[in-house]
Amino acid sequence: MNGRAVLVTGASRGIGRAVARAFAAQGDRLALHHRDSAQAVGQLLGELPGDGHTIVQGDLADPDAVRAMTDAAADALGGIDVLVNNAGVYFHHPAAELTYEQWQDAWRTTLDVNLIGAANVTWCALQHMSSGGRVINVTSRGAYRGEPDAPAYGASKAGLNAMSQSLAIALAPRGIAVACVAPGFVETDMTTEHLTAPGGDAIRAQSPFNRVARPEEIAQAVVYLASPTAEWASGAVLDLNGASHLR
């Protein structure tokens, strides 16, 4: 088979969609994961160049569904060379506005997908990955800057950074590299409400470029970190926020 076998979670829109297109453009074969966006991911499948692509479905909060989804991707692609953990959820849950029950639910739901779900997909993908494999995790500027209205989101992304660096050490003897991209605001469906609201100009002004990222910019960074020449970037967290937050 030509090209590498790439599993992208949350591939139906936004960053995941751009990542899938970028890998397909260089001849790789994609497993496009979605939870409940069959129409959108089906449209993407029809737009991708090349052949050998497939669609896989599963709720990342369900460990059994994760394993079935990942195994289905590996069966269809003949293994997994690259995993991109992109899928994530974001809930507005400021502490001062929630009941105790709502607070617990927001944390549980967010961590189940963004952190534990990504960890489970990674474990399952590693069963099909050999030397030269790559795991790229999409985290967030919020892991460092803080997310006052969505603390579980910030914590989940900080946890994903830490998990990635731990696995970078653990998997190096197997020839597998692990790295992260940490975007700031990106022009996606998830951020449209914020960017078109009265505060949209202030969000853009966070960067001295006076704009937010395009999904394609994040995708190109993911493709680089997943490349055979990027092994030495294992353990890195690449900030992609237009100098809106420096550390």
Average pLDDT over every residue of 55-80? 98
Average pLDDT over every residue of 191-201? 83
CA distances for 8 relative to 5, 60, 104, 192, 203, angstroms:
10, 13, 29, 22, 28
pLDDT of residue 191: 77
Beta strands in 103-199 (DSSP E): 134-138, 177-183
Other Cβ atoms less than 10 A from the Cβ of 125: the count is 26
Three-state SS at 78 = coil
Structural domain includes residue 245: no
pLDDT of residue 227: 97
Place of tokens 């959108």: 40
Average pLDDT over every residue of 61-75? 98
pLDDT of residue 2: 79
Residues with catalytic annotation? Answer: 153
Task: Examine the pLDDT at 192 and tell me if it is beyond 80.
Answer: no
Average pLDDT over every residue of 118-123? 98
pLDDT of residue 43: 97
Domain count, the chain: 1
pLDDT of residue 199: 86
Structural domain includes residue 134: yes
Q: Is 40 exposed, middle or buried (0-12, 13-18, 19+ CB in 10 A)?
A: middle
Residue range of the domain that includes 52: 5-240
pLDDT of residue 189: 77
Structural domain includes residue 64: yes
Comparison of pLDDT for 191 and 78, the residue scoring more? 78
Q: How far apart are CA 87 and CA 16, in angstroms?
A: 7
pLDDT tens column, 155-189? 999 999 999 999 999 999 999 999 999 999 999 87
Residue 14 pLDDT grade (very low, low, confident, very high; cuts 50, 70, 90): very high
Mean pLDDT of all residues belonging to the chain: 96
Task: Examine the pLDDT at 1 and tell me if it is beyond 70.
Answer: no
Residue 198 pLDDT grade (very low, low, confident, very high; cuts 50, 70, 90): confident
The CATH number for 74's domain is: 3.40.50.720
**Residue type, position 21, single letter:** R
Structural domain includes residue 246: no
Residue 106 pLDDT grade (very low, low, confident, very high; cuts 50, 70, 90): very high
Q: How far apart are CA 213 and CA 209, in angstroms?
A: 10
Average pLDDT over every residue of 63-81? 98
Structural domain includes residue 224: yes
List the one residue out of 137, 162, 144, 159 whose CA is nearest residue 245. Answer: 144
- Indicate the pTM of the whole model: 0.96
Beta strands in the chain (DSSP E): 5-8, 29-34, 54-57, 82-85, 134-138, 177-183, 237-240
Please tell me the least confidently modeled range out of 10-14, 192-196, 200-204.
Answer: 192-196
Q: Which residues pair with 5 in a beta bridge?
A: 29
Structural domain includes residue 44: yes
Provide the token pair at 201. 């100009």
Q: How far apart are CA 104 and CA 19, in angstroms?
A: 32
